[in-house]
């Protein structure tokens, strides 16, 4: 039996999340249905990163095991069966012990904001028509690189063994009326990025100073964090794996 990684991208607007849930249309559920239709029997899928309802992905992965010979044509077949908002970008043969979730060495996210009303960004970026001090935003982002415990930015209805995350990049980029927050880490906590963005925006608007922002990180109390940032501005942009991940079917 061989193991494969399957790479997908999707618009999360029409889905109740990533992982299969009862009474919800999900990314995993749609792919599971397409694969069952194509191969005529169910093939269990394991997901790499669970994005919340409404969150988009430029790249995400599942892995599965099968004895069925996988060919390039199967990518076309699956895309024909999937809704237009989900695309299979590739299928990769990997070692039998490879795991799409636990073997990931880096995950990258982007949060998109626009300050001028734009119908073409609706549902793809957060319309936030308030003046922002971008250097202050970046100063807040820079402090994230000096911390590892982000318990304050984890929603409490989750089960994890550690709140430690090693953030290797935290950068705000501005282009005209568009602003994006780009962050890389070995792992993320549930709600973490939306909480970081919402709270940093308070720094950018002068509602919090930098010292208070660092206090919020140290206090390990989610009640100090603004989690109200909408899902539709958030994108899982990439997942990085070790060198074994290279053979494309």
- Residue for token pair 């300050």: 115
Interatomic CA distance for residues 234 and 119, integer angstroms: 18
Interatomic CA distance for residues 60 and 27, integer angstroms: 10
Helices 192-204 and 210-219 cross at an angle (nearest 10°) of 160
Residue 119: strand, helix, or coil = helix
Q: Which of 222, 125, 109, 235 minimizes the C-alpha distance to 171?
A: 109
CA distances 99 to 3, 31, 93, Å, are 9, 18, 12
Q: Token pair of 225, please?
A: 């964090």
Interatomic CA distance for residues 213 and 210, integer angstroms: 5
Residues whose CB is less than 8 angstroms from the CB of residue 70 and which lie 6 or more positions away in sequence, other chains included: 2, 4, 91, 93, 249
What residues form DSSP beta bridges with 240? 106
Whether residue 133 contacts residue 193, with contact meaning beta carbons closer than 8 Å, is answered with no
- Based on the residue annotation, tell me whether 52 is a catalytic residue of this protein: yes
The secondary structure of residue 149, as a DSSP letter, is B
Q: Which of 152, 129, 132 minimizes the C-alpha distance to 212?
A: 152
Marked catalytic residue, from 11, 32, 52, 209: 52
Active-site amino acid positions:
52
């Amino acid at each position: 039996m061989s193991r494969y990684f399957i790479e997908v991208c999707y618009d999360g607007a029409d889905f109740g999340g990533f992982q299969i849930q009862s009474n919800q249309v999900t990314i995993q559920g749609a792919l599971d249905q397409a694969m069952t239709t194509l191969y005529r029997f169910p093939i269990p899928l394991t997901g790499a990163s669970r994005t919340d309802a409404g969150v988009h992905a430029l790249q995400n992965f599942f892995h599965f095991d099968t004895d069925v010979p996988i060919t390039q044509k199967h990518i076309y077949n699956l895309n024909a069966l999937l809704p237009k908002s989900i695309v299979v970008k590739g299928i990769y043969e990997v070692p039998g012990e490879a795991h799409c979730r636990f073997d990931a060495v880096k995950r990258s996210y982007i949060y998109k904001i626009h300050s001028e009303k734009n119908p073409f960004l609706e549902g793809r970026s957060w319309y936030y028509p308030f003046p922002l001090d971008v250097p202050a935003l970046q100063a807040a982002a820079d402090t994230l690189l000096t911390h590892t415990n982000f318990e304050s930015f984890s929603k409490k209805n989750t089960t994890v063994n550690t709140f430690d995350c090693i953030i290797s990049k935290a950068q705000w980029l501005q282009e005209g009326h568009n602003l994006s927050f780009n962050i890389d880490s070995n792992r993320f906590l549930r709600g973490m990025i939306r909480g970081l963005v919402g709270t940093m925006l308070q720094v950018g608007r002068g509602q919090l100073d930098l010292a208070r922002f660092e206090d919020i990180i140290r206090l390990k109390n989610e009640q100090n964090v603004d989690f109200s940032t909408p899902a539709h501005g958030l994108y899982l942009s990439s997942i990085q794996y070790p060198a074994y991940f290279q053979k494309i079917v």
